[in-house]
Structure 1
Amino acid sequence: MTATEETAGPPILTIDGTVATLRLARPRHLNRIEPEDLVSLHESLDRLEAMRSVRVLVLTGTGRAFSSGYHLGDLARRSAAPAAAEPEDGGETAFERLANRIEDFALPTICRLNGGVYGGSTDLALACDFRIGTELTKMFMPAARLGLHYYRGGMVRYVTRLGPDAAKRLFLTAETLEAAEMLRIGYLTDLVPSAELDSRVADLAGRIAANAPRVTQAMKCTINEIARGDLDRAEANRRHHDSLRGAEIAEGMRAFREKRAPVFED
Structure 2
Amino acid sequence: GDKSFSVGGDIRELESLSVDDRWEQHIKKLSSINTAVENLPVPVIAAINGFALGGGLELALACDIRIAAERASFGVPEVTIGGFPGTGGAVRLPRLIGKGKARELLFTGKRIDAEEAARIGLVEEVVPPAKLMDEAMKLARRIADNSPLGIRAVKQVINQGSEKDTAAAMELSDSLRRPLLSSKDYAEGLTAFKEKRKPRFVGE
Q: Fold match, TM over 0.5?
A: yes
Provide structure 2 residue ranges, at least 5 long, that are not aligned to the other structure: none
Please name the residue that 1:76 is paired with.
Answer: 15
Is contact 1:96–1:154 with CA below 8 Å preserved after alignment?
A: no
Aligned amino acid, residue 144 of structure 2: A
Q: Equivalent residues in 2 for 1:187-266 (5 A)?
A: 187-229=122-164, 234-266=171-203
- What CA distance in whole angstroms lies between the structure 2 residues aligned with 1:232 and 1:76? 43
Is contact 2:28–2:87 with CA below 8 Å preserved after alignment?
A: no
Is contact 1:103–1:128 with CA below 8 Å preserved after alignment?
A: yes
Q: Which of 104, 107, 114 pairs up with 1:172?
A: 107
Cα distance, 1:201–1:86 mapped onto 2, change above 3 Å: closer
- What CA distance in whole angstroms lies between the structure 2 residues aligned with 1:116 and 1:105? 24
Q: Equivalent residues in 2 for 1:74-223 (5 A)?
A: 74-78=13-17, 80-82=18-20, 87-88=24-25, 93-151=28-86, 153-223=88-158
How big is the alpha-carbon RMSD for the aligned residues of Structure 1 and Structure 2?
2.1
Greater relative contact order (CA < 8 Å, ≥ 6 in sequence) = 2
Please name the residue that 1:21 is paired with.
Answer: none
Aligned amino acid, residue 94 of structure 1: K
By how many angstroms is 1:193 displaced? 1.6
- What CA distance in whole angstroms lies between the structure 2 residues aligned with 1:66 and 1:152? 17
Q: Deviations over 1:102-122 (max 9, x none)?
A: 111111010011221111110
SS of alignment partner, residue 211 of structure 1: coil
Aligned amino acid, residue 9 of structure 2: Y
Higher helix share: 2
By how many angstroms is 1:75 displaced? 2.7
Provide structure 1 residue ranges, at least 5 long, that are not aligned to the other structure: 1-61
Using the size of structure 1 for normalisation, the TM-score is 0.70
Aligned amino acid, residue 93 of structure 2: Y
Q: Deviations over 1:50-90 (max 9, x none)?
A: xxxxxxxxxxxx23211111233333333x243x555559x
Q: How many equivalent residue pairs?
A: 201
Q: Which of 53, 67, 81 pairs up with 2:6?
A: 67
Using the size of structure 2 for normalisation, the TM-score is 0.89
- What CA distance in whole angstroms lies between the structure 2 residues aligned with 1:144 and 1:121? 15
Is contact 1:110–1:130 with CA below 8 Å preserved after alignment?
A: yes
- What CA distance in whole angstroms lies between the structure 1 residues aligned with 2:127 and 2:22? 45
Q: Deviations over 1:5-51 (max 9, x none)?
A: xxxxxxxxxxxxxxxxxxxxxxxxxxxxxxxxxxxxxxxxxxxxxxx
- What CA distance in whole angstroms lies between the structure 2 residues aligned with 1:147 and 1:87? 16
Higher strand share: 1
- What CA distance in whole angstroms lies between the structure 2 residues aligned with 1:71 and 1:234? 44
